[in-house]
Structure 1
Amino acid sequence: MTNKELCLNLIKTDKENEVVNILRKASYWDDASYWKYYGNMENNFSTIGNQQKSPSAALVEKIINAVDAVLMKECLIRDIYPDSEKAPKTIQEALKEYFKIREGKLSNVTPYDRGELAENINLVATGDKKIPSYTIVDLGEGQYPYNFQKTFFSLNKSNKLRIPFVQGKFNMGGTGVLQFCGERNLQLIVSKRHTEIAKLEQKDNRNLWGFSIVRRENPSKGVKSSSYKYLAPEGDILSFKADGIPAIPGDYPEAYKGLLKHGTIVKLYEYQIGASLRTNIVFDLFNNLSLLMPQIALPIRLYERREGYRGHTKGTVLSGLTVRLEEDKRSNVEQGFPSSTVVTIKGQEMKITIYAFKENSETKYKKNEGIIFTVNGQTQASISKRFFTRKKVSLGYIADSILIVVDCTNLNGRKREDLFMNSRDRLRGGDFEDEIEKKLEDLLNKHNGLRELNQERRRKKVEGKLKDSRPLKDVLENILKDSPTLSRLFIQGKQLQNPFRPKSVASKEEFKGEEFPSFFNIDKEYTLNKPKKCPINNNVFRIRFLTDAENNFFTRPNSPGTYEVTSPECNELDYYMNLWNGVANLNITVPENSSVGDIFEFRTKVYDLREINIFESSFFVKITESENKNKTSAGERLKPSSRKEGNQTRGLHGLNIPEVTEVTEDQWDKYNFDQLDALSVVKAEEKQYDFFINIDNWHLKTEQKRKKNTDPKILEARYKYGLVIMGLAVINQYEEQNENGDDSIEDLVRNFSRAMSPFILPMIEGLGSIEPSDFAKENVDLA
């Protein structure tokens, strides 16, 4: 068997056992001397095994490597060294110069042209439906066989560290995928240097293809951990001469038809992508990869080439989440969104984009993710949607529908290291992450658009049933009033009321912002003689601006605006601007070491990309004595207005008596209930919870059938009131002790009530039947 035949056999097989048999027949598998340590490190498992926890996140690293290879090719064929002064300084600059993409953004490229660009990089699914293999094919720079060890099989080297226009810089060789490649962790790499680059480099072996297999070897005697090795007989990478090899997919189900003349093939055998992602590649995996690469530099062509798929699309182009949402905005994103801002913490700037999806549309784009953190267009970590149910956020009704993208590309290297783990799939923790989360909590809590949407969703779910549930609330109120302990949890002297403002601001006209604003003005002047007053115990103060800029002016993909805030008295400021429907609220953290009587001058500048308009403002802020925060102040934020008529009203400042909605079996899917669920709660406002009770719960129905002499309505009422009081107890404990709100109160109540559901009615009946004689008997027994 020639080397070329061996290589083509390895490319076309999808079973790791077949790979072993092919190599064994070629006398390579069993000879240990033919295998070299990956990264030239015997203990490489400690590095390679400490990569991404998610198989799709690990797969992204391979795709990013392919993107970088194509970018590098475009630089090298122009006879420019990638780390030289002539090379592009950013990814966007490279895309503009090499691919003529306006502003270096894929959103400026037509779908047809993106399809043409996607021919440079392919991701192909082959093999078995349940155990797929994935092959990444790129038409990039490629490598000489002798250079594999310095490139594909290197660890902890600085190959791309000083190249500013590539997406991947960590130089782990994309090793995170190995742990997910079947039982033996097999990976194939085939590569040939681009012909034009080889001519410029004047190499003799310009027509050589190199190939190798990576495998994991079990710990040998006296060794504690496994190791990864790659095939290199006699110390050299196997090679052969060929103008091209069949590696480009043809019509379904042909996976290897078109000739690849240069570039790289990476095949991941029997890849453990997970049950939820091993469907047709154009569906779940496409959605997941779009989320993990929201602003990928170049599009990717996805091919489904596993047999057995009928009547479905067999290929698509992946251009990243940002492009998808821009194209789907009208059909799947709520009016006025995305909204955007730029947050500055300790001098570090992060762009934040807020997407609010139309109800049930979010499943096309995300699952449990609520906040994703990106660097160079690649997701580095995420926070779950539970974040939106925290006490300081209280957006329970739209928690599933929000996605926030935090672009951390502009963080300096040290802060980036402080924020992300080296595995690039989770946050590290620490003070900097805490500061970011606090800013996000404040931003979301004060975002009028999100609060309005939360109230609107709540209204649709609850308001129609308020009238029907009035007797339940009356009884509940009486129970609470009769118990001093319970009544202390709620607003003293307050009656139950419609949670939706019965008379509020009249409906507003749809806001249509301008792409480039004509004004961006401070709403009220604060001069040196009449400064804005900020109590010293306030952490943040707010300045209001009026503008006609559209909501995503600061972070939109194309021609975004920018702003800056400076102060002669402060070297470093923390601030962000919340822009929504013509109102921009600038939130500034009070400078450290401030004292009562201090006066600070602040200056703002807002730019558009054209730099035709620069909007400048200045204002003064005076630090005053502490204020009593329990007292309602004139500057307190009002609740967002509903769409009903009437006067603006303020919310209560304690825990409100909950609104209770009954859920029947035909509504279980809507509320994510099953036969054993009992109670679900949603946090609608800072101190307002809505309760949803499953009145067709099987435990309740069983008791109603068993207690034939008791009115079923009485049992149902006991069950409901017992659940409500139990839920209130859990919430009270949560509100008192869980200051940061990291745990999900929704999950706590749902799980606890599910566990207690079988015991509620027997407990009520049993405790209610206790007589004084029972105590007397107990005392005698104890004696």
Structure 2
Amino acid sequence: MANLFGDSAESFSYRDLFFKIYHAKDEEDLNEVIKEFIAIFNDKNWKPLGSNMSNYGIVKNQQSNPIAALIEKVTNSIDALLTKKCYESGCNPKDKSAPQSMTEALERFYPDNNWDLNSQRRAQAQEIQIIADGKGPRKNKGYDTSVIVYDNGEGQHPEDFENTFLSLVRGNKNDVHFVQGKYNMGGSGSIVFCGKNRYQLIASKKYNSTGDFGFTLIREHPKRESDHTKETWYEYLMVDGKIPSFPIDQLDLGLDERKFKTGSIIKMFSYQFPKGYSGFAQDLNQSVNEYLFNPALPILTKDTAERYPNNNVLVNDLFGLKRRLQNEEGEYLEDKFSEVFEDEKFGRMKVSCFVFKTKVKDYDLKKTKEVIQKRYFKNSMAVLFSLNGQVHGHYTSEFITRSLKLNLLKSHLLIHVDCTEFDYNFQKELFMASRDRLKDGDETQFLRHYLAKQLSKKDGRLAEIEKRRKQAVDIDTSSNTSDLLKNFTKNMPLDSDLMKLLGKTFKLDLKDQKNKPKGGKKPKKSETQEAPFKPERFPSLFKVSGKNGSDVVAKIPLNGEKSIKFSTDVENEYFDRTDEPGELKISVLDIKSNDSEGGNKPGKPKDPTEIFNIVKSSPNKGTIKIALNPKENLKVGDAVQMKVDLTAPGKEFNEMFWVIIADKEAPKAKVPKEGDDTENLGLPQLLFAYEKKSDEQKDAVSWEDVETATTMTMDYFTVMVPDSKGDDSLERIFVNMDSSVLMNFKAKYKNPNLEQLDIANRKYYTSVYFHTLFLYMITKNRGYQISQKIEGREDYDEVDLGTYLKDLFDHYYSVFILNFGGMEEMMQGIGE
């Protein structure tokens, strides 16, 4: 080995080489180390990763996001700790006696954990650490950030590196059922984000302290003219055909509160974080929480005083976004609930919805939205799909506006879909092997449609919340607004192309207006005062609704769905809380068939999911709902006896009842709505908005009202805010009568009289209203979908039509149409 280390060979060793590499702050420093020991790092000492010179595509075509790739390292660390625990318990992880799920592994290996306590969570989090390294301070220099991931897990002997850390697609974990990994390739996805040379240091020692501490360096092979391959490849360091190693008792590697003894440690040099990432204790901590919504084990993040000398919080633990939401729900959440869906297509999934407040602390609406987006949606993930707590794919807020059509909740709704209990065949068609995105296949399309249908139901919890928020601005249009709309349509021939386009978009009903009864809307029914609900931690009451002396509580249409309600006194969070949660269990006791061949003989009890698709909702102010949808093996007239149990400590409450399968319901005839002429026209309502509305302005709203009703900000630079339901219907247009655009337009008059000001106002709101109307109409009918580049990233986010139109008017479009729009002819046409 003397010739490898040059002149200082007698005093130099693999130990010294490891520390030289490990203490390199970034890729630039490491390049200097390689130059210093060029004899060791010569081409003969590098071997292709996975023993495959065509590994470029395997490594490169994994996670498309550096954070998702880093999460794979953390997931591997969780796997390593659980595997170590399994070996320590005397069980081979691949034996049938080993845990068959991650949940079972946690229950067996960590039976007494109390990680909701700060001290115990911090102690456990030190077993997996994500540590920042790099030159500092970063404030003005923008130095590179290197990342160290440590775990006190299984570890590997140096001679086993090639079959574990350095292999690809070997399926080492495929028959270990309690870990996340399968393909033995996910950890290599981070290589492509390691600087320009893709340097990644891997070091490890076996958990039982046998063998040496081994290390190697991965890099992208520097392509040379002598290479005969089209693409380069990734390779790792072996010296004289062996992984470099040396004996240790412990090493000081800058870990938090401990020395390295066994386990694994990986350093990724000059890691390419997205724009805007700085301190680990804040930015990265938050992202790991999002991607590991409900991790099996807590994790620690650590930054350095060298990089951030003025940061008082350099070390922080995390335990997933789910627990963070639970800890902060009193301050940030307005409501949360869950629903469990059991369907023959996918098996079982649990969907949890978290609805954020419109105002928190002493922030206004705009600041609250900014804080919520930064705190909980850093990676633009509004709908999270997870397996064993790790997010495997997501939707942006586009799903909330376009599929759920809940524009008002666009910036205030987080949805978590737990896919852990999906049927295997459905699950494997849903997720990519890289575990960072959904496939674009039939199963994904079905899931999207199914979630949209279930979560957007008119009597659902989300629709109730959206309606409640929308009622913040619930006023009729002014008389001049109604006249504007009516005069416009009356003066436009019904068979004109424009009216046909309007009819397509807004379903105009103009033929019978002369026969419509006069008068405004019917007075609203008086609302009864709702009695306050006093929740209990555990239930003392559980009763099914609809018995009334009969055991039959529901007739369920064949191929239809029926909800059954239960009264209870337990708190809303009973099914979702981490401490002593409850459960709703459904079972089938008897089936009486109406089959002509089978007579009326009782059938054998079955698992309820064999005969029904089932939705179970979490408690809501004293009510629990289940929805039953009969499968094809039931027939009209069949009777099913069911038992529903609500668990509680030391006790179970249960209700038994019958449901009968009825004929399919005929479609309900549409009843025309009663209301004023404006409603019958089907055109969006025009509302005037002012910074502060006066008591005399009964038909106007304030900027704050608009923000509350739409979540969109209105200020002097805002011209118009649309209120739409998804991209399907434009319901209201709020025109800002205190905008700087209108003020500047009026300023062209010197000493204006009231008539001139009135004309200017009418030209302004008429122009804005009709241009909004026509742009919406054309864009919608032509089927455009709009996307916008995400600031600081290469990704694009889909934008709903309302947001696009608001942005369009805010950026000079309104100035153009006021000064060059030629609205005089239109105003004459509508009876100015």
* TM bucket, shorter chain: 0.7 to 0.9
Q: How far apart are residue 520 of structure 1 and its match?
A: 4.7
> Are residue 759 (structure 1) and residue 763 (structure 2) matched?
no
Q: Which moved more, 1:53-62 or 1:603-612?
A: 603-612
Superposition pairs of residues 360-399 of structure 1, within 5 angstroms: 360=368, 362-363=372-373, 364-367=375-378, 368-390=380-402, 393-399=404-410
Look up the match of 1:290: 289
What SS is found at the alignment partner of 2:252?
strand
Residue segments in structure 2 that go unaligned for 5+ positions in a row: 1-11, 359-367, 594-608, 693-702, 787-797
What SS is found at the alignment partner of 2:168?
coil
What SS is found at the alignment partner of 1:260?
coil
> Are residue 127 (structure 1) and residue 134 (structure 2) matched?
yes
Once residues 449 and 26 of structure 2 are traced to their aligned partners in structure 1, the CA distance between those partners, rounded to angstroms, is 49
Once residues 339 and 680 of structure 2 are traced to their aligned partners in structure 1, the CA distance between those partners, rounded to angstroms, is 30
The 8 Å contact of residues 546 and 553 in structure 2, kept in 1 or not, is answered as no
What SS is found at the alignment partner of 1:178?
helix
Once residues 669 and 586 of structure 2 are traced to their aligned partners in structure 1, the CA distance between those partners, rounded to angstroms, is 30
The 8 Å contact of residues 155 and 205 in structure 2, kept in 1 or not, is answered as yes
Once residues 526 and 222 of structure 1 are traced to their aligned partners in structure 2, the CA distance between those partners, rounded to angstroms, is 85
Look up the match of 1:646: none
Once residues 42 and 48 of structure 1 are traced to their aligned partners in structure 2, the CA distance between those partners, rounded to angstroms, is 11
Aligned partner of 2:348: which letter? E
Q: How far apart are residue 707 of structure 1 and its match?
A: 5.9
Q: Which moved more, 1:266-275 or 1:472-481?
A: 472-481
Q: How far apart are residue 505 of structure 1 and its match?
A: 3.8
Once residues 222 and 519 of structure 2 are traced to their aligned partners in structure 1, the CA distance between those partners, rounded to angstroms, is 67
> Are residue 547 (structure 1) and residue 574 (structure 2) matched?
no
Look up the match of 1:81: 92
Once residues 672 and 540 of structure 2 are traced to their aligned partners in structure 1, the CA distance between those partners, rounded to angstroms, is 35
Look up the match of 2:48: 37
Aligned partner of 2:372: which letter? E
Look up the match of 1:234: 240
Aligned partner of 1:72: which letter? T
Look up the match of 1:690: 732
Once residues 37 and 71 of structure 2 are traced to their aligned partners in structure 1, the CA distance between those partners, rounded to angstroms, is 32
1:574-613 deviation per Cα after TM superposition (whole angstroms, max 9, x unaligned): 3313342233333344535988x56564745345276734
Q: How far apart are residue 69 of structure 1 and its match?
A: 1.3
What SS is found at the alignment partner of 1:765?
coil
Please tell me the root mean square deviation across aligned C-alpha atoms, in Å: 3.9
Q: How far apart are residue 99 of structure 1 and its match?
A: 2.6
Q: Which of 215, 218, 222 does residue 214 from structure 1 map onto?
A: 218
Distance 1:587 1:725, change over 3 A: farther
TM-score under structure 1 length normalisation: 0.82
Q: How far apart are residue 565 of structure 1 and its match?
A: 6.5
Look up the match of 1:585: 625
What SS is found at the alignment partner of 1:246?
coil
Distance 1:431 1:573, change over 3 A: farther
Q: How far apart are residue 112 of structure 1 and its match?
A: 1.3
The 8 Å contact of residues 347 and 574 in structure 1, kept in 2 or not, is answered as no
1:53-81 deviation per Cα after TM superposition (whole angstroms, max 9, x unaligned): 11111111101111111122222223321
Distance 1:422 1:347, change over 3 A: closer
The 8 Å contact of residues 38 and 228 in structure 1, kept in 2 or not, is answered as yes
Distance 1:712 1:135, change over 3 A: farther
Distance 1:140 1:169, change over 3 A: same
Look up the match of 1:657: 684
Once residues 826 and 418 of structure 2 are traced to their aligned partners in structure 1, the CA distance between those partners, rounded to angstroms, is 62
Look up the match of 1:247: 253
The 8 Å contact of residues 340 and 578 in structure 1, kept in 2 or not, is answered as yes
Q: Which moved more, 1:313-322 or 1:440-449?
A: 440-449
Distance 1:653 1:693, change over 3 A: closer
Look up the match of 2:546: 523
Q: How far apart are residue 503 of structure 1 and its match?
A: 4.0
Aligned partner of 1:683: which letter? S
Distance 1:696 1:149, change over 3 A: farther
Q: Which moved more, 1:110-119 or 1:423-432?
A: 423-432
Q: Which moved more, 1:555-564 or 1:653-662?
A: 653-662
Residue segments in structure 1 that go unaligned for 5+ positions in a row: 199-205, 251-256, 634-650, 773-783
Distance 1:733 1:548, change over 3 A: farther
The 8 Å contact of residues 541 and 567 in structure 2, kept in 1 or not, is answered as no
Q: Which of 463, 473, 477 does residue 481 from structure 2 map onto?
A: 473
Q: How far apart are residue 719 of structure 1 and its match?
A: 2.5
Q: Which of 641, 645, 664 does residue 624 from structure 1 map onto?
A: 664
Aligned partner of 2:275: which letter? A
Look up the match of 1:189: 202
Distance 1:529 1:96, change over 3 A: closer
Q: Which moved more, 1:345-354 or 1:655-664?
A: 655-664
1:376-410 deviation per Cα after TM superposition (whole angstroms, max 9, x unaligned): 010111111222223x6332222211111111001
Q: How far apart are residue 674 of structure 1 and its match?
A: 7.6
TM-score under structure 2 length normalisation: 0.78
Q: How far apart are residue 622 of structure 1 and its match?
A: 0.8
Superposition pairs of residues 128-147 of structure 1, within 5 angstroms: 128=135, 129=138, 130=142, 131-147=144-160
1:760-780 deviation per Cα after TM superposition (whole angstroms, max 9, x unaligned): 2245436629999xxxxxxxx
| Aligned-residue identity in percent | 23
Superposition pairs of residues 198-597 of structure 1, within 5 angstroms: 198=210, 206=211, 208-220=212-224, 221-249=227-255, 258-276=258-276, 278-305=277-304, 306-335=306-335, 337-346=336-345, 348-359=347-358, 360=368, 362-363=372-373, 364-367=375-378, 368-390=380-402, 393-446=404-457, 448-460=460-472, 462=473, 466=475, 470=478, 473-482=481-490, 483=492, 485=499, 489=507, 503-510=526-533, 512=535, 514-516=537-539, 518-523=541-546, 532=555, 534=557, 540-558=561-579, 559-564=581-586, 571=610, 573-579=612-618, 580-589=620-629, 591-592=631-632
Give the number of aligned pairs: 726
The 8 Å contact of residues 282 and 315 in structure 1, kept in 2 or not, is answered as yes
The 8 Å contact of residues 443 and 578 in structure 1, kept in 2 or not, is answered as no
